């Protein structure tokens, strides 16, 4: 039996996958190996997934984004599902989760793995309950059979809802939105029906054996994630998290890679707390969060409410973000929803990577800004996060090749284009002459021209002293009666 990436890393081997990841992340291979060996990062790479271009998920690497795809009872054919896969990868998904619940699941899953250059994740309890007919008819034998089959089909990581225990269910009594995880609600139903412990928890060590054989990575499901701000950070959520920490260590003991899933709906002031708590309880295993949505009031715009939380979570140390589309809570996403959701999440991930000083992250911003200031429209479009959209928005008002070098766009127009005016001023030498005759140090404006502290180098936003100085400056010359 081949070693898992975790076992190889622990024995000091830099695998081909680690070497490839190091190249993609602009990091030393040894740094990658050490992060995998410590469990702080995972390389989801089933030994049977030949089309995979290996990638890594961990808090010290670039933040990753997952897109959910999959069929439902109403739409089910291989071509449609492959088109969804293509759309997700085209718009920048780092992994995809096939959450199919319709028909022909085996053929679709096998085709997805065969064609996907990114890791494919699944939630095997969905297929198991479909085959069983109802949650009450699930058995441990069926769950293991489905998990083993999906591992054999080449799935790279699986959400396993083993952390929700019988003892946790009374803790959800007073919740506003109960149990909102699909897998969690299925397992809770089974436990309530029989008064017995979660079947996935019962056979957890058997699942570890299967995962070790194919090098499938655990994505430990958060069945008790809050589905509303009212339920965020409650006893049920944190009790399950403690179990997930315990399950993380049990998988590591068997040489299996682990990441841990997180919420959900969380107000902005408690997002960092969620990340820090998971990192502490799960000994640094990568955190993989859905959103979180920072308010409940904007159905139709939940790619935005959740992207705010996702950016904050990534900044605080979350390794992978599961995207949310505008259709969240409302319906099955279509192609444009996938595009909007992925763009929003890639912005969140990249913004955090810039702030966290990930190698190469800020270079992208600088290259685009230089092209923008040079009115090099073609390069600006090519560098854009969504080049097709940038090009099309520009060309709606100024189509034609003659505008490719224009020193303005339709936003301000030729006369009021600030960048053109500024460049002309510089070219005419006005700025140099102004600088030569101004004693900035003696000017009352000097206080407001303090340089920004530490925002561009990936370090902390500022020292206490600098923050105090900024407060002083922002109050500079404020009228006494201002309100």
**Comparing C-alpha atoms, which of 309, 236, 230 is closest to residue 275?**
309
Q: Return the structure tokens found at 416.
A: 């009021």
Please tell me whether residue 362 adopts helix, strand or coil conformation. helix
Inter-residue contact 189 to 136 (CB < 8 Å): yes
By CB under 6 A, which span of 90-98, 113-121, 291-299, 406-414 interacts with ligand SF4?
Answer: 406-414
Measured from the CB of residue 393, what is the shortest distance to ligand SF4 in angstroms? 11
Measured from the CB of residue 364, what is the shortest distance to ligand SF4 in angstroms? 19
Residues near 410 by beta carbon (within 8 Å), at least 6 away in sequence: 397, 398
Residues near 144 by beta carbon (within 8 Å), at least 6 away in sequence: 203, 206, 207, 210
By CB under 6 A, which span of 18-26, 27-35, 277-285, 415-423 interacts with ligand SF4?
Answer: 415-423
Among 409, 423, 458, 469, binds ligand SF4 (CB under 6 A): 409
Measured from the CB of residue 431, what is the shortest distance to ligand SF4 in angstroms? 17
Distance of CA 151 to the CA centre of its chain: 23
Residue 171 found at the interface with ligand SF4 (CB under 6 A): no
Inter-residue contact 354 to 322 (CB < 8 Å): no
Residue 55 found at the interface with ligand SF4 (CB under 6 A): no
Measure the CA–CA gap between 421 and 430, rounded to whole angstroms.
11
Distance of CA 380 to the CA centre of its chain: 25
Residue 434 found at the interface with ligand SF4 (CB under 6 A): no
Residue 368 found at the interface with ligand SF4 (CB under 6 A): no
Measure the CA–CA gap between 314 and 288, rounded to whole angstroms.
10
Residue 47 found at the interface with ligand SF4 (CB under 6 A): no
By CB under 6 A, which span of 211-219, 257-265, 345-353, 413-421 interacts with ligand SF4?
Answer: 413-421
Q: Return the structure tokens found at 431.
A: 């700025």
Measured from the CB of residue 367, what is the shortest distance to ligand SF4 in angstroms? 17
Query: Phi first, then psi: what are they for 261, rounded to 5°?
Result: -90, 155
Residue in the block written with tokens 């070219």: 427
User: Which residue number, 34 or 423, has a Cβ lying nearer to ligand SF4?
Assistant: 423
In the annotated binding site for [4Fe-4S] cluster, the residues are 409, 412, 417
Q: Return the structure tokens found at 165.
A: 């225990």
Residue 398 found at the interface with ligand SF4 (CB under 6 A): no
CB atoms within 10 A of CB 133: 9
Among 297, 411, 436, 478, binds ligand SF4 (CB under 6 A): 411
Among 209, 268, 412, 445, binds ligand SF4 (CB under 6 A): 412
Radius of gyration of the chain (CA): 25
Among 418, 457, 474, 482, binds ligand SF4 (CB under 6 A): 418
Inter-residue contact 263 to 232 (CB < 8 Å): yes
By CB under 6 A, which span of 183-191, 362-370, 407-415, 424-432 interacts with ligand SF4?
Answer: 407-415
How many residues touch ligand SF4 (CB under 6 A)?
7
Biggest distance spanned by C-alpha atoms of the chain: 85
Residue 408 found at the interface with ligand SF4 (CB under 6 A): yes
User: Which residue number, 14 or 385, has a Cβ lying nearer to ligand SF4?
Assistant: 385
User: Which residue number, 272 or 419, has a Cβ lying nearer to ligand SF4?
Assistant: 419
Residue 396 found at the interface with ligand SF4 (CB under 6 A): no
Residues of this chain that interact with ligand SF4 (CB under 6 A) are: 408-409, 411-412, 417-419
């Amino acid at each position: 039996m081949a070693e898992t990436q975790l076992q190889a890393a622990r024995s000091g081997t830099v695998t081909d996958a680690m070497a490839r990841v190091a190249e993609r992340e602009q990091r030393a291979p040894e740094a990658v190996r050490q992060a995998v060996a410590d469990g702080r990062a995972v390389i989801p790479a089933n030994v049977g997934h030949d089309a995979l271009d290996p990638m890594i998920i961990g808090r010290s690497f670039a933040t990753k984004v997952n897109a959910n795809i999959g069929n439902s009872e109403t739409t089910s054919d291989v071509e449609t599902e492959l088109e969804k896969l293509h759309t997700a990868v085209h718009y920048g998904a780092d992994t995809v989760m096939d959450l199919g619940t319709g028909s022909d699941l085996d053929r679709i899953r096998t085709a997805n793995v065969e064609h996907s250059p990114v890791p494919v994740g699944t939630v095997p309890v969905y297929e198991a309950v479909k085959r069983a007919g109802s949650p009450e008819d699930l058995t441990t034998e069926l769950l293991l059979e489905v998990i083993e089959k999906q591992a054999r089909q080449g799935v790279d990581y699986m959400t396993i809802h083993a952390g929700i225990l019988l003892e946790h269910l009374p803790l959800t009594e007073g919740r506003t939105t109960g149990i909102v995880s699909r897998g969690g609600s299925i397992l809770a139903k089974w436990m309530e029906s029989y008064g017995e412990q979660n079947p996935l928890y019962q056979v957890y060590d058997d699942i570890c054996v299967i995962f070790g054989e194919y090098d499938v990575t655990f994505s430990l499901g958060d069945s008790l994630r809050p589905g509303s701000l009212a339920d965020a950070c409650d006893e049920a959520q944190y009790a399950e998290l403690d179990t997930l920490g315990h399950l993380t260590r049990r998988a590591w003991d068997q040489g299996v890679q682990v990441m841990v899933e997180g919420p959900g709906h969380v107000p902005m002031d408690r997002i960092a707390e969620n990340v820090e708590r998971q990192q502490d309880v799960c000994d640094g295993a990568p955190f993989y969060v859905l959103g979180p949505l920072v308010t409940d009031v904007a159905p139709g715009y939940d790619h935005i409410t959740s992207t705010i939380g996702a950016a904050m979570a990534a900044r605080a140390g979350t390794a992978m973000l599961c995207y949310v589309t505008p259709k969240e809570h409302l319906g099955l996403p279509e192609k444009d929803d996938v595009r909007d959701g992925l763009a929003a999440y890639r912005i969140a991930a990249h913004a955090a990577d810039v702030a966290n000083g990930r190698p190469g992250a800020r270079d992208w911003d600088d290259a685009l800004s230089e092209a923008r200031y040079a009115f090099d429209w073609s390069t600006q479009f090519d560098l854009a996060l969504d080049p097709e959209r940038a090009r099309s928005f520009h060309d709606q008002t100024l189509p034609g090749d003659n505008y490719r070098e224009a020193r303005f766009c339709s936003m301000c127009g030729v006369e009021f284009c600030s960048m053109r005016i500024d460049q002309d001023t510089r070219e005419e030498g006005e700025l140099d002459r102004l600088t030569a005759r101004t004693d900035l140090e003696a000017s009352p404006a000097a206080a407001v021209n303090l340089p920004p502290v530490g925002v561009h180098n990936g370090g902390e936003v500022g020292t206490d002293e600098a923050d105090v100085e900024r407060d002083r400056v922002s109050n500079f010359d404020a009228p006494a009666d201002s309100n």
